[in-house]
Amino acid sequence: MTGVLDGILQSLGVYRLYESRLNSEIERGPIPGHIGIILDGNRRWAQNHKLTVDLGHTQGADVVERLLDWCHEIGIKSITLYVLSTENLQRSSDEVIELYRLIEERLKRLLTDERIYKYKVRVKGIGKFELLPSSMREILDEVEKKTAGFDGHFLDIAVAYGGRAEITDTVRDIAEEVKKGTMSPSDITEETISRRLYTSHLPNPEPDLIVRTSGEERMSGFLLWQGAYSELVFLDVYWPAFRKIDLLRAVRTFQRRQRRLGK
């Protein structure tokens, strides 16, 4: 029904008019430098449209590709996408294999995507890569190496990612340094931990805004440390149906809030 309604609105020019109005509104306020997005609702969107789960994931991947343009147009410099959690790996083997195939396919596209080179996008994967197929690790490594020198935009792709696992890895690394005598317990600070997190390479490792689609209102282990003071926006739209106006609405909501950062 949403797709039919969108078609009618676009044919009348109402959609573009509303998008233009939202663009004008957010131009007056601060733009989040770093946005994190929990891509949720692919399976439920497919079910509602009487489609296979695979098609739901494919449609969701198509939206991700359009998202790159939207963020560039708005002026968002860094994006972290929660694509595949460690818990997702416990789904049926058929679905996980299809997800691996789809992610690999889209990573390969990044290698030849002219926008990556035009916008100077540094792409990096974050997560427990040892849980991923070797073929995916190789593609991620190739994309990272090809874009390592870019600093126009930053795209972090969280695959086989879990916030608790990230913090555990960080604590383990620090414990090893203490054990070797290269660090003392008194040297451990919040900054010590932040410098060792997966997102430490970003100019702004802590997202200003985290958006979750599908209507669910929880973090599901996404950037638990980094998102401590992020503004959270939960949208009642499945990821495959996500549009630019949904992103604009989220940014407008961000701008209307008074950020205290615990003060």
* 82 closest CA partner among 193, 204, 212, 195: 212
Given strand 121-126, what is the order of strands in its sheet? 121-126, 153-161, 78-85, 34-38, 209-212, 231-234
H or E element: which one contains 108?
helix 93-112
Report long-range pairs for 111-118 (Cβ below 8 Å, ≥24 apart).
111/139, 111/142, 111/143, 111/146, 115/68, 115/69, 115/72, 116/147, 116/150
Cβ neighbours around 9 below 10 Å, total: 15
Q: Which of 6, 23, 48, 88 is catalytic?
A: 88
**Residue 88 designated active-site:** yes
Q: Tell me if 30 sits within 8 A of 255, measured CB to CB.
A: yes
User: Which of 40, 156, 208, 246 is flagged as catalytic?
Assistant: 40
> CA-based angle 167:168:171, to the nearest 5?
85
CA distance 116 to 103: 17
Compute the distance between CA of residue 78 and CA of residue 106 in angstroms, rounded to an integer: 19
Does residue 156 have an active-site annotation? no
Structural contact between residues 184 and 216, judged by C-beta atoms closer than 8 angstroms: no
Residues catalogued as catalytic: 40, 88
